[in-house]
Amino acid sequence: MRGIAILGSTGSIGKQALQVIALHPDRFFVTALTAHKNAALLFEQVRAFRPRLAALTGEEVPVPSDLSFCEFRFGPHALEEVAREALGPDVLAAVVGVAGLKAVMAARQSGKRVLLANKETLVAGGEMVMAACPPDENGPTLLPVDSEHSAIFQCLQGAGPNAYEKILLTASGGPFRTWAKESMRAATVEQALGHPTWSMGAKITVDSASMFNKALEIIEAKWLFSARPEQIQVVVHPQSIVHSAVQFRDGAVIAQLGAPDMRLPILYAMSYPERLSTGAEELDLFALRHLTFERPDTDKFPALAMAYEALRQGGAACCVLNAANEEACFAFLRRQIPFGRIPEIVRSALDRHGHLPARDLSDIDRADALARETARRLLDETPSARIT
């Protein structure tokens, strides 16, 4: 039996993690759960999975009397406290945004294994997080949950002593893959939320539409697999069946295929190196009419070039890219700026703060805060604010 704490249990990843845990009660139990604001769902989950610890990182609310078996914490620091104090051995980081960074570090400081969905943490604090996650006697202490990175990790299980030459990082292309650049600028929130293949939380869905999700994933791949920027090739694959691939010196390409269903990478991180049933239908190759692959349109999606640039710049550039994108993405979701402003705001923040250092957590906090300040000022200056 492995105990698992889920940070962000009320979100898309968190709920699917609880689904696979419920399928395997003989293998996993829940040590802790956290949510930001959705107290009603958190209470329901605590009732069903009976963790000893839970947290609501937003405002304090009264706890129902039948949940007295569980200790509740409240406020922004509660996330870190739960990551540190929950019983081991595993913590699934499934919160959204850089809010997960300190909790991931706390989980590692208390010797826990981190299952990482929360890619923003690795984008903002890559060097520091990787330094905190060396493999131990039981194997990796940081396991990817993001589907592409799980795919790469799975492909590398067959690599033996061979180093890979290239990572082929697949991308669905999002809802605007076939749109003209000019129409995309004025896309609505509803259009951006209409992802063709995956059902996910709002932030990552908008990131998929702007391809900032793939930009974050390029950076995530660099850290997880010690890749040089030129070893990471984005391949647009609209069917989302090939979740990524790895190419070797002899030309062999090893890919991982599956239906677009996050339960597989979530459960693989939990049960690694074993594979367990996810409860999903198996992939029917005969039902797939075709699998297609395209080069990304780097003119329409400037996010990709910004990721390579930030990686080459090093220091806090990736942290700045992430922070400005978080601000711009949530402003778009609030209908404060048009979709086309998102990359412009990230561009300005990178130009202004991309040179900052990232030696430790206080450097990262500072770069994050400065990037957000610049992004917020640009939001206020957006002439077409309050778009309909």
* Contact with ligand NAD (CB under 6 A) among 5, 13, 232, 254: 13
Residue 119 binds which one of Mg ion, ligand NAD, none, with CB within 5 to 8 A depending on kind? ligand NAD
Site string for ligand NAD, 136-155 (x = CB under 6 A): ----------x---------
**In sequence order, what are the residues at sequence separation of 6 or more whose Cβ sits closer than 8 angstroms to the Cβ of residue 24?**
271, 276
94 binds ligand NAD (CB under 6 A): yes
Which of 216, 211, 202, 50 is closest to 125 using CA atoms? 216
* CB of residue 223 to ligand NAD, shortest distance in Å: 15
User: For residue 274, with 0-12 CB atoms within 10 Å meaning exposed, 13-18 middle and 19 or more buried, which class applies?
Assistant: exposed
Which of 253, 235, 243 is closest to 173 using CA atoms? 235
Which of 38, 70, 84 is closest to 57 using CA atoms? 38
CB 55 within 8 A of CB 72: yes
Query: What length does the chain have?
Result: 388
Q: What single letter denotes the amino acid at residue 45? A: Q
Binding piece for ligand NAD, criterion CB under 6 A, among 9-17, 174-182, 221-229, 361-369? 9-17
* CB of residue 226 to ligand NAD, shortest distance in Å: 21
* Contact with Mg ion (CB under 5 A) among 120, 146, 261, 327: 146
201 binds ligand NAD (CB under 6 A): yes
Binding piece for ligand NAD, criterion CB under 6 A, among 5-13, 162-170, 322-330, 337-345? 5-13
Q: Binding to ligand NAD (CB under 6 A): which residues in 25-64?
A: 35-36, 38, 57
Sign of CA dihedral 137, 98, 194, 239: negative
Cβ proximity to ligand NAD, 48 vs 163, nearer residue? 48
* CB of residue 82 to ligand NAD, shortest distance in Å: 10
Q: How many residues bind ligand NAD (CB under 6 A)?
A: 28
Rounded CA gap, 373 and 377, in Å? Answer: 6
Cβ proximity to ligand NAD, 129 vs 200, nearer residue? 200
Which of 344, 305, 306, 309 is closest to 327 using CA atoms? 344
The residue behind tokens 């060097």 is 127
The residue behind tokens 């795919």 is 151
Which residues sit at the interface with ligand NAD, rule CB under 6 A?
8-14, 35-36, 38, 57, 79, 94-97, 99, 117-120, 146, 198, 200-201, 203-204, 262
